[in-house]
């Protein structure tokens, strides 16, 4: 025992985007501690936005400098092409979501006050607010960055928790319908903790099988270790449960409608875009890097999950009467379409990179559209807050044609109508799936898309072809932030729908080298 | 030899404790059973050449986490038990079935796996258990270790957000409280002093026993409303106290008072 430990080498340049986000979050906590109440919001917003923009710039710089070919931070983090693409996507989506968070009073005045109590009245009267949402959102974004880039299961687990814990909290902070919001937070927390336990158990079993938690070493052990396949299979199944829960794939989708409905709408936007992107990145990394050699075993299961997810998402969405629940089920269905791409692996690297680039493109397209759709939801207000019931949206097209038109456009993009980003996303994924021999899955996907299109079109018909109610909801004049969010989302949806080549090209470049090991 | 004896003794103890944890109806018993399980695990770790893990298990889990559990239980109330009404019909049956099936799957699967012979920790512990762990934590896993801090900060911040309420009005001092008590005495004639404890003539000094007046009757002032309500629910309320409470309720109704819930005091 000579007591000397070689100091670890950390590639700070590669980790910089994450470090900037985490650093800004900690600065935000210090602001909470030391800045006077009236100044906090004014300090938080620039810090948050600048750090996200800075992290994005650092990500770009990383790409320009040349994508690293070896894992960073002693093999804990893999900053490779797909990671960088996902980081860029998450950072832009988070930036846009923060504009929404900043927009207006979506958040509770005093979370500790019992809903409906005198204390709450007083806090509302005083105009109190929780500015802690900014550092919490930054922590969540930091976790989202680390989750898809983690190169071993331990880091992935920590990242999963870092990503989820702030979101559990933020879900419970809605200003209106607080009991619903708190219920959503409790449900999300309990189910999330449960799924994390599954993930951890799976990690332990895989460690028992492979003797390592490194994704690359697990992959190397696949053909070598004999006689312990049951450990491997049970471990993979449990790991899959943990990851599929985060995506909201059926049969682990039950939390999604409740949580999306109860959470403050800007947080729903952040979850629907950022978390989904991060979770797909992590799922791809686990199944393609660590378990790539086992695809004979897991791909039938994922086939079933993908079919079930698409069908459940599309069919249950039809029965919804709450706009946010409907969008949640739509998000489930989109998770299913993306899973089609995950299944579409092939023996050849070319096929894999094609499927990967299709998924990456789909994630960008869906992320922007969904943030835009939730931004529109925040603007249609009743006396008691957002007009959540679908019947309240009747005739919106006659009262506010521009907004209704934009929302209709987003819905068409969700449905995958040509000339919207959704079309190219679906096209790319389905094309890759056909090339990968998953044609039956694509047929199910197309049918589910058609079913999904039915309820999107139903909302459009409701908005444009029915008479507005006399006491219908009012459309608030958007703040500059919300207007910017909607504008960016519309532009992105149009741009990706009409001229997808640059982003497709970017995604192809990112996917070319596949994941590093 | 010693290791296997320890294992078989602790295996029995910890499995029984774990079953007790699940099946016990009282939350405090469950918590203490959990303590037993954690202690057994710690000893097992220690026996298997992992002294650091054993110490951490005791310090962190048994020491900190368990105590937190107990604090929370005490705060919530030892006697509060879950309502066992099923909100989803047949849920418990299917949950038990799924749980048993899952356990069977795990047991059969892992039981049938041909595990390679255990290597032991001799190689990993060559430089000593703690230094070897330190080397792993601060080199290979340093990033995970550092990122965990984000988790801790989030937890602290979240606790503040959810539980901390800033005081809107100035805190009432002893002086304000006593002034308010005497104002109430002047207006309503309520006794400003403390309520009597079990009286001189009481046969007990337990708090559920009301004080007796010199003539042997029960002093209504000394009836603890919280205890009385609990005893009424349990059916062990002394008949004399019950009579007093009923009389009080009757007279309050006759005087047109709004019946206050039992146990609510004015000084709150």
CATH class of B1-78: mainly alpha
Q: What percent of chain A has pLDDT over 90?
A: 64
Which pLDDT does position B79 carry in this prediction? 60
**A112 vs B166: CA distance, rounded Å:** 9
More confidently predicted of A65 and B260: A65
pTM of the predicted protein model: 0.88
Q: Is B13 exposed, middle or buried (0-12, 13-18, 19+ CB in 10 A)?
A: middle
| pLDDT for res B1 | 77
Q: Which of B105, B139, B166 has the CB atom closest to A8's CB atom?
A: B139
Interface test with A, best of B88, B112, B113, B125 (most A CBs within 10 A): B113
Cβ contact (<8 Å) for A25 and B163?
no
Selection from A103-107, A108-112, A384-388, B13-17 with the highest mean pLDDT: B13-17
Share of chain A above pLDDT 70, in %: 99
A69: three-class secondary structure by DSSP: coil
Residue B43: what pLDDT? 93
Contact: B109, A233; criterion CB under 8 Å: yes
Q: Please indicate whether, in this complex, the C-beta atoms of B113 and A126 are within 8 angstroms of each other.
A: no
Given this model, what pLDDT does residue B262 score? 43
Mean pLDDT value of segment A207-232: 87
Question: How distant is the Cα of B146 from the closest Cα of chain A, in angstroms?
Answer: 10
Helix (H) / strand (E) containing A386 = strand A385-386
The predicted structure's pLDDT at residue B201: 67
Residue B232 has pLDDT above 90, yes or no: no
**CA of B204, closest CA in chain A: separation in Å?**
40
pLDDT tens sequence across A461-510: 999 998 887 777 888 888 888 999 999 999 999 999 999 999 999 998 88
| Average pLDDT for A410-436 | 91
Please determine, for residue A375, whether its predicted confidence score (pLDDT) is greater than 80.
Answer: yes
Whether residue B160 and residue A25 make contact (CB cut-off 8 A), yes or no, is no
Please name the member of B109, B140, B160 whose beta carbon is closest to the beta carbon of A75.
B140
Mean of the pLDDT values across residues A440-454?
Answer: 92
With an 8 Å Cβ cutoff, is A171 touching chain B? no
Instruction: Give A513→chain B minimum CA distance, Å.
Output: 25
Which of A1, A3, A5 has the most B C-beta neighbours within 10 Å, making it the best mutation to test the interface with B?
Answer: A5
CA distance A4 to chain B (A): 9
**What is the per-residue pLDDT across A158-187, written as a single tens digit (0 to 9) for each?**
999 999 999 999 999 998 889 999 999 999
The residue among A31, A158, A186 with the most chain B CBs within 10 A of its CB, best to mutate, is A158
For residue A99, the model assigns a pLDDT of 93
- Does residue A237 lie within any of the structural domains? no
The band of B240, judged by pLDDT with boundaries at 50, 70 and 90, is: confident
Residue A477 structure tokens: 């004049």
Range of the domain at A475: 293-517
* Token output for B7: 């294992």
Summary mean pLDDT of chain B: 82
The separation between CA A337 and the C-alpha centre of its own chain, rounded to angstroms, equals 14
Return the pLDDT at A442: 93
A1 near B CB under 8 A: yes
Q: Where are the domains of chain B?
A: 1-78, 174-254
Span B214-233, average pLDDT: 79
Residue A341 lies in a domain: yes
Question: For A121-163, how does the pLDDT look when each residue is reduced to its tens digit (9 = 90+)?
Answer: 888 888 778 889 999 999 999 999 999 999 999 999 999 999 9
What's the pLDDT at B208? 74
Q: Does position A435 have pLDDT exceeding 70, yes or no?
A: yes
ipTM of the complex: 0.91
In the stretch 94-123 of chain A, residues with CB closer than 8 A to chain B read 110-113, 119, 122-123
A214-243 residues touching B, CB cutoff 8 A: 225, 227-231, 233-234
The residue that leads in pLDDT, A101 or B27, is: A101
The owner of tokens 């998953």 is: A438
Q: Say which range, A246-250, A417-421, B110-114, has the weakest mean pLDDT.
A: B110-114
Q: Which residues of B touch A172 (CB under 8 A)?
A: 162
Q: Which chain A residues are closer than 8 Å to B137 by Cβ?
A: none
Contact B158 A122 (CB under 8 A): no
Indicate the range of A76-90, A327-341, B187-201 predicted with least confidence. B187-201
B134/A159 touch (CB, cutoff 8 Å), yes or no: no
What is the DSSP-derived secondary structure letter of residue A292?
Answer: G
Q: Which of A176-190, A413-427, B218-232 has the weakest average pLDDT?
A: B218-232
Residue A245 within any structural domain of the chain: no
A163 touches chain B (CB under 8 A): no
Mean predicted confidence (pLDDT) in B106-125: 78
Per-residue pLDDT, averaged over B29-35, amounts to 90
Q: Residue A2: what pLDDT?
A: 56
Determine, yes or no, domain membership for A249.
Answer: no
CA angle B6/B9/B12 to nearest 5° reads 140
Report helix, strand or coil for A80.
coil
pLDDT for B265: 44
Q: With CB atoms and an 8 Å threshold, state whether A110 touches B154.
A: no
Average pLDDT in the A213-242 region?
A: 88
Interface of A with B in 430-489 (CB under 8 A): none
Rounded mean pLDDT of B232-252? 80
From B116's Cα to the closest Cα of chain A, the distance in A is 8
CA distance A266 to chain B (A): 18
> In the prediction, which pLDDT does B263 show?
41
User: What is the four-CA torsion angle of B103, A156, A94, A505, rounded to 10 degrees?
Assistant: -110
Please return the burial class of B262, using the count of CB atoms within 10 Å of its CB with bins 0-12, 13-18 and 19+: middle
The confidence score (pLDDT) of residue A129 equals: 81
Q: pLDDT (tens digit, 9 = 90+) per residue, A271-323?
A: 999 999 999 999 999 998 888 888 888 889 999 999 999 999 999 999 999 99
Write down the pLDDT at residue B97. 94
User: Residue B257: is its pLDDT beyond 60?
Assistant: no
CA distances from A292 to A68, A220, A236, A243, A348 (A): 22, 10, 12, 16, 12
Task: Kindly give the residue spans of alpha helices, DSSP state H, lying in A380-479.
Answer: 396-399, 401-415, 421-435, 439-465
Distance from C-alpha of A16 to C-alpha of A22, rounded to nearest angstrom: 10
Whole-number pLDDT of residue B84: 65
Instruction: Give the model's pLDDT for residue A308.
Output: 95
Residue A389 DSSP label: B
A130 close contact with B: CB closer than 8 A: yes
- Which of B129, B157, B159 to probe the A interface (max A CBs under 10 A)? B157
Least confident of A1-10, A32-41, A165-174, B47-56: A1-10
CA neighbor of A375 nearest in space, from A492, A236, A462? A492
Nearest to A22 among B150, B161, B162 (CB): B150
Q: What is the mean pLDDT of chain A?
A: 90
Give the number of domains in chain A. 1
* Secondary structure letter of residue B192 according to DSSP: -
Question: For residues A175 and A207, what is the distance between their CA atoms, to the nearest angstrom?
Answer: 44
Q: What distance in Å separates the CA atoms of residue A301 and residue A297, rounded to the nearest whole number?
A: 8
Query: Of A440, A438, A442, A441, nearest to A427 (Cα)?
Result: A442
Q: Using a CB-CB distance cutoff of 8 angstroms, which residues of chain B are in contact with residue A1? A: 127-128, 131
Question: What are the chain B neighbours of A138 within 8 Å (beta carbons)?
Answer: none
pLDDT tens per residue, range B55-76: 999 999 888 988 888 888 888 7
Confidence band of B80 (pLDDT split at 50, 70, 90): low
Nearest-CB residue to A231 (from B113, B143, B147): B113
Task: Please count the residue pairs, one from chain A and one from chain B, whose beta carbons lie less than 8 angstroms apart.
Answer: 125
User: Is residue A392 one of the residues assigned to a domain?
Assistant: yes
HEC letters along chain B: CHHHHHHHHHHHHHHHHHHHHHHCCCHHHHHHHHHHHHHHHHHHHHHCCCHHHHHHHHHHHHHHHHHHHHHHHHHHCCCCCCCCCCCCCCHHHHHHHHHHHHHHHHHHHHHHCCCCCCCCCCCCCCCCHHHHHHHHHHHHCHHHHHHHHHHHHHHHHHHHHHHCCCCCCCCCCHHHHHHHHHHHHHHHCCCCCCCCCCCCCCCCCCCCCCCECCCCCECHHHCCHHHHHHHHHHCCCCHHHHHHHHHHHHHHHHCCCCCCCCCCCCCC
């Amino acid at each position: 025992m000579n007591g000397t430990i070689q100091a670890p080498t950390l590639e700070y340049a590669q980790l910089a985007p994450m470090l900037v986000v985490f650093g800004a979050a900690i600065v935000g906590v210090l602001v909470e501690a030391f800045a006077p109440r009236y100044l906090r919001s004014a300090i938080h917003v620039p810090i948050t936005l600048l750090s996200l923009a800075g992290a994005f710039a650092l990500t770009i710089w990383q790409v320009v400098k040349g994508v690293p070919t070896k894992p960073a931070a002693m093999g804990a983090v893999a900053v490779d092409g797909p990671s960088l693409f996902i980081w860029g996507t998450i950072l832009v989506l988070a930036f846009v979501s923060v504009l929404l968070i900043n927009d207006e009073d979506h958040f509770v005045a005093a979370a500790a006050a019992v809903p409906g109590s005198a204390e709450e009245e007083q806090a509302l009267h005083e105009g109190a607010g929780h500015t802690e949402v900014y550092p919490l959102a930054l922590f969540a974004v930091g976790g989202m960055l680390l989750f898809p880039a983690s190169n071993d299961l331990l880091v992935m687990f920590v990242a999963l928790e870092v990503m989820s814990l702030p979101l559990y909290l933020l879900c419970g902070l809605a200003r209106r319908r607080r009991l619903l919001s708190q219920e959503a937070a409790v449900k999300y927390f309990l189910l999330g903790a449960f799924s994390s336990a599954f993930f951890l158990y799976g990690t332990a079993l895989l460690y028992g099988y492979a003797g390592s938690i490194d994704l690359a070493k697990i992959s190397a052990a696949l053909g070598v270790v004999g006689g312990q396949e049951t450990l491997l299979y049970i471990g993979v199944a449990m790991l899959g449960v943990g990851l599929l829960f985060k995506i909201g794939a059926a049969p682990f989708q039950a939390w999604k409608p409740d949580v999306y409905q109860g959470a403050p709408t800007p947080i729903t936007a952040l979850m629907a875009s950022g978390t989904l992107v991060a979770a797909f990145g992590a799922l791809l990394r686990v199944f393609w890097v660590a378990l790539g050699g086992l695809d004979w075993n897991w791909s039938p299961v994922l086939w079933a999950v993908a079919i079930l997810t698409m069908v459940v998402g599309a069919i249950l969405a039809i029965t919804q009467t709450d706009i946010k629940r409907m969008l949640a089920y739509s998000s489930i269905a989109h998770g299913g379409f993306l899973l089609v791409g995950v299944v579409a692996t092939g023996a050849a690297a070319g096929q894999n990179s094609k499927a990967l680039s299709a998924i990456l493109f789909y994630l960008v397209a869906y992320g922007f559209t969904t943030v835009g759709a939730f931004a529109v939801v925040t603007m249609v207000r009743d006396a008691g807050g957002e007009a959540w019931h679908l019947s309240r949206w009747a005739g919106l097209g006659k009262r506010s044609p521009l907004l209704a038109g934009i929302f209709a456009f987003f819905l068409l993009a969700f449905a995958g109508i040509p000339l919207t980003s959704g079309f190219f996303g679906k096209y790319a994924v389905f094309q890759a799936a056909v090339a990968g021999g998953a044609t039956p899955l694509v047929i199910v996907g197309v049918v589910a898309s058609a079913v999904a299109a039915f309820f999107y079109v139903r909302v459009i018909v409701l908005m444009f072809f029915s008479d507005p109610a006399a006491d219908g909801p009012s459309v608030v004049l958007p703040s500059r932030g919300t207007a910017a969010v909607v504008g960016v989302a519309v532009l992105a949806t149009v741009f990706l729908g009409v001229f997808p080549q640059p982003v497709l090209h970017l995604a192809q470049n990112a996917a070319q080298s596949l994941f590093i090991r | 030899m010693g290791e296997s004896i320890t294992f078989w003794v602790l295996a029995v103890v910890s499995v029984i404790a774990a079953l007790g944890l699940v099946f016990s109806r009282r939350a405090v018993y469950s918590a203490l059973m959990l303590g037993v399980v954690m202690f057994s695990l710690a000893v097992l770790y220690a026996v298997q050449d992992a002294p650091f893990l054993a110490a951490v298990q005791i310090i962190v889990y048994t020491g900190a986490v368990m105590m937190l559990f107990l604090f929370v239980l005490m705060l919530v109330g030892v006697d509060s038990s879950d309502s066992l009404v099923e909100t989803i019909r047949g849920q418990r049956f299917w949950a038990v079935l799924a749980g048993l099936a899952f356990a069977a799957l795990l047991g059969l699967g892992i039981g049938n796996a041909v595990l390679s012979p255990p290597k032991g920790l001799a190689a990993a512990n060559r430089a000593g258990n703690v230094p070897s762990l330190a080397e792993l934590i601060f080199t290979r896993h340093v990033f995970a270790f550092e990122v965990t801090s984000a988790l801790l900060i989030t937890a602290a911040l979240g606790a503040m957000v959810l539980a901390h309420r800033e005081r809107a009005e100035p805190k009432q001092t002893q002086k304000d409280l006593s002034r308010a008590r005497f104002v109430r005495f002047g207006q309503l004639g309520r006794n400003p002093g403390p309520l009597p404890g079990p009286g001189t003539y009481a046969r007990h000094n337990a708090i559920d026993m009301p004080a007796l007046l010199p003539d042997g009757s029960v002093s209504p002032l000394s009836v603890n409303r919280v205890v009385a309500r609990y005893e009424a629910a349990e059916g062990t309320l002394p008949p004399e106290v019950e009579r007093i409470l009923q009389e009080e309720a009757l007279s309050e109704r006759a005087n047109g008072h709004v019946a206050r819930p039992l146990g609510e005091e004015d000084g709150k």
